[in-house]
Structure 1
């Protein structure tokens, strides 16, 4: 079966209408009908039930649709990848990052731009209290986020780097004079709350209970990272952050305290599976080629880079 005939079958199986299939493929309805009859003769059984009012897949047609669909997509992706290798990838890729996270992947972005000088990389700021919103709305193509991200419609790429985690507190907070704290100390704190963050992501660094089961209080809900900084510096709450944040937000009203028993924080590129493009694959490949900062660990273990 030729590739064009496979395409005709799959589009007709989706449209269930000869006219719309012909219009979509820019051919005549007669060409569609001829291709389907040819396939049915080769197979030896009908693939579609045709009536004056409707076109339906037979059980054999449904089986063929399942078997051919994945293979056809793989073939087309391979062709697109080969074309990109020859002609170079171009277009605009919008990347969303949180605070200093963009600097943590500069080496990845540099490799991507070197390989694909025709690609334009745009940046958007992601707010930690709502880490998935710009992905969901389509305002960014790829987001650089802390793990885990366990959403059925999102793909998680290679780990880009690993950070230590610290607790951000007001300079007047009792913990500000300590050399370090432990997770059990969260029981005496109130942590900032996000607006639209999956509970499992919030739980990673801002737990609802300490290791011994004590409840962890909740402070004000924040919408932006600036609001989180303000809530913490004013003493209303505390927040877990990656250690790099201490270098980029050296406010005299803030202190950053190491958490002795907090696991390292991993970060990765994340994108909408259904909207994957050659540009996204190229960026993910650059990240993969640079190499993960640490061996993979289960996605339910790493802490979050930001507590909001």
Structure 2
């Protein structure tokens, strides 16, 4: 099987829909069907079954998917690494970060810029209440987001940073003078978390229940980071944040309290799977290389 036919087969095995597969790969549905028929002739059996509503893998198709997926990933990663090392990529890439969070990956951006002088790296601000919005709209190519991200249309790249979780409160809040708090304490105060945020991402900073089972109340749903800052400063609620926020936003009206039993939050590069490009792979490779060289 040619590499393109393997790509088509694996895409259809994931999408289980000829139209979505064609759209994802920017080809026609007829090209998808032709490629699958060709693959079936080559292996000597049916790889997919379909009816008027559904497409599903046969046992043979599932076996082939498992056998090919690892090798295909190794091939594409090898090509991406070679291209990145050669510095042959060019064009423009738009990176979305939350406020000054780009500072946390400065070594990665420096390595990427020095390795690819012909690439223009643009920056856009991502709003924490809607971290996936600009990715989904196509306004940015890659975003620096906290994990977990469990979205079927998005690829999570290398982890580039980790941060402890702090509770951001007003300077007059009862917790403001504490050295630390625990998750159980969160059940006593209202938190700001918008409905547009996937629940798994919400829970990374603000669990839905305390360890004893008490619900953690939710308050107003702000649409921007500065709205969150204003609400907290006004004493209208609290919010879990990355420890970096204490460095970037040392406002007189805010206090940041460690949550001692919350696990650190990991940050990674995330992009639309269907729009992965040599530029994105080059940035991902720079992230992996920088992480390996620093040992962080």
In 2, the alpha carbon distance for the partners of 1:181 and 1:75 equals 48
Counterpart contact for 1:156–1:268, Cα < 8 Å: yes
Q: How far, CA to CA, are the matches of 1:165 and 1:77 in structure 2?
A: 33
Match of 2:237 in 1: 237
Q: What is the Cα deviation at residue 162 of structure 1?
A: 1.2
Are the aligned partners of 2:135 and 2:142 in contact in 1 as well (CA < 8 Å)? yes
Equivalent in the alignment of 1:209: 209
For these two proteins, the number of residue pairs brought into alignment is 256
**TM-aligned CA deviation for residue 264 of structure 1:** 1.1
Distance between the aligned counterparts of 2:186 and 2:4, measured in 1? 63
Equivalent residues in 2 for 1:215-254, closer than 5 Å: 215-254=215-254
1:117 corresponds in structure 2 to 117
Look up the SS of the partner of 2:223 in the other structure.
coil
Structure 1 gaps of 5+ residues are 16-23, 25-38, 46-62, 296-308
CA distance in 1, matches of 2:156, 2:79: 23
Q: Report the Cα offset of residue 79 of structure 1.
A: 6.1
Displacement after TM superposition at 1:207 (Å): 1.6
Match of 1:192 in 2: 192
Q: Check whether the contact 2:84–2:285 (CA below 8 A) recurs between aligned residues.
A: no
Unaligned runs of 5+ in 2: 10-17, 19-26, 28-37, 45-60
- The structure having more radius of gyration, on CA atoms, is 1
Distance 1:236 1:112, change over 3 A: same
Partner SS for 1:240: strand
1:110 & 1:136 partners in 2: Cα distance? 27
2-side partners of 1:99 and 1:150: how far apart? 23
Q: Specify whether residues 146 and 294 from structure 1 end up closer, same or farther in structure 2 by C-alpha distance, changes over 3 A only.
A: farther
Counterpart in 2 of 1:58? none
Distance 1:238 1:294, change over 3 A: farther
SS class of match (2:240): strand
Q: In structure 1, what is the equivalent of residue 291 of structure 2?
A: 291
RMSD after superposition? 3.7
Aligned partners of 2:132 and 2:152: how far apart in 1? 13
